[in-house]
Amino acid sequence: MAVVLLELAAIVLVLALLARFAAQIGFSPIPFYLLAGLGVGAFYGSEISREAVQLEADVAVALLLFMLGLEYTGEELASSLRSGRLGGIVDFLFNFTPGVAAGLLFGWSVIEAIVLGGITYISSSGIIAKVLDDLNRLGNRETPSILSVLVTEDLAMAIYLPLVTVALAGGGLIRGALSALVAITAVGLALWAALRHGGHMSRLLTHTSNEVILLSVLGLLLLVAALGELLQFSAAVGAFLLGIALSGPLVERARTLLGPVRDIMAAAFFVLFAAQLEIGEIPDVLAPALILGAVTMLTKLATGWVAATSCAPPGRLRAGTALMARGEFSVVIADLAVIAGATPRLGPLAVTYVLITALFGPLATRYAGLIKLKKPSEWRQSVP
């Protein structure tokens, strides 16, 4: 037991150093956690329990999506859906399609290609929020357009995840359609509850004791996640909807209390996911991951350019580069496929792809602010 505790302490301390390094250079720690997981897998890969990984993944994903749901109110969601229709459509067509096409070119099954499409489609809300905060761009004119795209993606995941989960488990068309119907109904009910009754739920959960709030919200989160699993529409969806339904001062207190729990569970999830992979398989997928990363970073640039139509060219460029990074939810989707026994190449390809976009996306965002683009009126003046 002493040896096990020493090994666990060493891993956690290494993660702490990586998180400290990431914060110092202004990057998300996700790529570094994945690299650490590859190192752990090289030493302990055969000893890692699949059941333990699945349980930890379920809890981590529920916490990630719950905390994401806390960022939005029902009014903000409804407004974002109305204003971001064009950007959402372009985002789906431009970024889901390359992943599906690549999967089919690799000779994978249709469902595996659709999984890859989801990996290339969803941007990392966590990385993007951190980068915008670090660069003091949360108040920029293009930021609402970026958030509108992210909200649309999050809601799309509420439908996509249960469908993919059922398909990977071998469920039929009828079961998949029922799961999608349940998910859509749940999203609609959650929006209605958030707009009409979110205040009542928040008042019931509010208490002067932080301990009471922590246990109440965490217990309700796990209950909702369990009901989601029983109804076959994904624990993640239920967690996201619960986050949306909460409102008022309780949101900030829940964010403060559950934030550290989310961080440690998310770090463990990224490490355990990468630890399941064979590090020797990474070189075989490096070239496809680089090509796919380059293509889909350009398509995200186009997405941001279209979504931020009300902004000047520099703002549209900043919006596009901000959306490039993929992270936590791409790994979540890949993890579902890996556990279900999908093609062995999918896991290493997903990790390599996330590493590439999570590293180059923030760099592009940082330096996009230094590029000076001329306005259309200035183009005419510069023509001799």
* 220 alpha-carbon distance from chain centroid: 22
| Mean pLDDT, rounded, for 184-191 | 69
On whether residue 244 sits in a domain, the answer given is: yes
- As a whole number of angstroms, the distance between CA 236 and CA 72 comes to 16
* pLDDT > 90 in the chain, percent: 22
* Beta-carbon contacts of residue 282 (< 8 Å; ≥ 6 apart): 38, 348, 351, 352
On whether residue 379 sits in a domain, the answer given is: no
E strand or H helix at 304: helix 282-307
pLDDT digits (tens, 9 = 90+) for 292-337: 999 999 999 999 999 998 888 889 999 999 999 998 788 888 888 8
- As a whole number of angstroms, the distance between CA 87 and CA 239 comes to 25
Q: Which residue has the higher pLDDT, 136 or 362?
A: 362
Q: Is 47 left (phi over 0), alpha (psi -120 to 50) or beta?
A: alpha
CA dihedral (104, 108, 114, 115) in degrees, to 10, reads: -140
Give residue 384's pLDDT band: very low, low, confident or very high (50, 70, 90).
Answer: very low
- As a whole number of angstroms, the distance between CA 36 and CA 47 comes to 16
Q: Tokens for 330, please give them.
A: 């791409």
On whether residue 376 sits in a domain, the answer given is: no
On whether residue 185 sits in a domain, the answer given is: yes
Domains in the chain, number:
1
pLDDT for res 187: 65
CATH (domain of 49): 1.20.1530.20
Q: Tokens for 80, please give them.
A: 């974002």
The single residue listed with the structure tokens 């996509």 is 160
pLDDT digits (tens, 9 = 90+) for 41-67: 777 765 666 666 667 777 877 787 787
On whether residue 24 sits in a domain, the answer given is: yes
For the chain, give me the number of helices (H) and strands (E)?
18, 0
- As a whole number of angstroms, the distance between CA 116 and CA 101 comes to 9
On whether residue 257 sits in a domain, the answer given is: yes
- As a whole number of angstroms, the distance between CA 377 and CA 357 comes to 34
- As a whole number of angstroms, the distance between CA 202 and CA 221 comes to 13
13-22, 68-77, 91-100, 127-136: range with highest mean pLDDT: 91-100
On whether residue 344 sits in a domain, the answer given is: yes
120 contacts 160 by C-beta, under 8 angstroms: no
Q: Which residue has the higher pLDDT, 383 or 231?
A: 231
On whether residue 145 sits in a domain, the answer given is: yes
Q: Is 325 left (phi over 0), alpha (psi -120 to 50) or beta?
A: beta
Give residue 183's pLDDT band: very low, low, confident or very high (50, 70, 90).
Answer: low
Cα–Cα distances (Å) from 179 to 66, 234, 353, in that order, read 20, 9, 29
Q: Which domain holds residue 251?
A: 2-371
